[in-house]
């Protein structure tokens, strides 16, 4: 059990640290590899969508049907799924527009103008960091609970979330760097925004674990599936298509599904 907890925390921490990786990339590269980003974000969405419908929702349904019976268990599965969607949709709705992490930034912007002491840019960067931190919190719960239930599943979800956290790190770094001229401050804010992911894992451990039953686990897992499907459709695919060249995002999506399908078959 201890090893499983350490793995679950470790995977969640790894996913959260990816925002810092994005920040570092913004400082040490001169151009945005749009093809790579398009394929990677599409791949991440493919992994999340496939695993949500083919694995997570199935496990949730099995647990809920076993603990509540066929009819009520199936209704609770559907309810949990749409509860997850509602939670992440509400988070999106109440994030200030200027801090929305969906606004993509390119590395080239770092070189287009000199850093200026612009409080509006600093405000935008801070809001972006806050928005990403709020988004990352339920993602941390999703990664932690998935890894605790099935380590191979947790690894796949952690990798998918880490991929989509990289451009979010860039989105925080660029406006903060413009506003302050400090790479250190930009990296620090980007890094801290990713730390809400392991914070979500800690909250899940302290609040949910003591009460974890088949019914609660099933409902949480169904909600995790809803959260990941919403993130994929609302964030990852639109972002991938903004970087898109010749349907690369869709190829990445299909590739992510295929890799996830094969990996699940290997663990049967």
Q: Is residue 262's pLDDT more than 90?
A: no
pLDDT given at position 115: 47
Residues making up the binding site for Fe(2+): 136, 139, 165, 168, 197
Residues making up the binding site for Zn(2+): 139, 164, 168
Separation of alpha carbons 104 and 162, rounded Å: 16
Q: How far is CA 73 from CA 92, 146, 217, in A?
A: 29, 20, 12
pLDDT given at position 80: 96
Q: Is residue 120's pLDDT more than 90?
A: no
Residues making up the binding site: 136, 139, 164-165, 168, 197
Separation of alpha carbons 253 and 258, rounded Å: 9
Please name the residues in contact with 155: beta carbons below 8 A apart, sequence gap of 6 or more.
11, 147
Q: Is residue 99's pLDDT more than 50?
A: no
- Predicted TM-score (pTM) above 0.75: no
């Amino acid at each position: 059990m201890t090893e499983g907890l350490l793995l679950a925390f470790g995977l969640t921490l790894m996913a959260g640290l990816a925002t810092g990786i994005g920040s570092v990339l913004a400082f040490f590269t001169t151009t945005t590899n749009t093809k790579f980003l398009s394929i990677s974000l599409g791949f991440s969405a493919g992994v999340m969508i496939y695993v949500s419908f083919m694995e997570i929702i199935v496990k949730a349904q099995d647990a809920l049907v076993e603990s509540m019976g066929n009819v009520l268990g199936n209704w609770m599965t559907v309810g949990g799924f749409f509860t997850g969607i509602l939670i992440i949709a509400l988070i999106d709705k109440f994030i200030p527009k200027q801090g929305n992490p969906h606004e993509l930034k390119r590395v080239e912007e770092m070189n287009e103008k000199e850093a200026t002491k612009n409080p509006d840019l600093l405000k935008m960067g801070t809001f972006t960091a806050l928005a990403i931190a709020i988004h990352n919190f339920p993602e941390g719960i999703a990664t932690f609970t998935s890894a605790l239930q099935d380590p191979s599943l947790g690894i796949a979800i952690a990798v998918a979330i880490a991929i989509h956290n990289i451009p979010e790190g860039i989105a925080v770094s660029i406006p903060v760097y413009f506003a302050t001229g400090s790479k250190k401050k930009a990296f620090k804010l980007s890094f801290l925004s990713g730390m809400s992911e392991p914070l979500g894992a800690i909250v899940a451990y302290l609040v949910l674990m003591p009460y974890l039953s088949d019914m609660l686990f099933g409902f949480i897992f169904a909600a995790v599936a809803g959260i990941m499907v919403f993130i994929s459709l609302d964030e990852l695919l639109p972002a991938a298509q903004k970087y898109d060249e010749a349907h690369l995002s869709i190829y990445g999506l299909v590739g992510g599904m295929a890799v996830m399908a094969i990996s699940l078959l290997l663990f049967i």
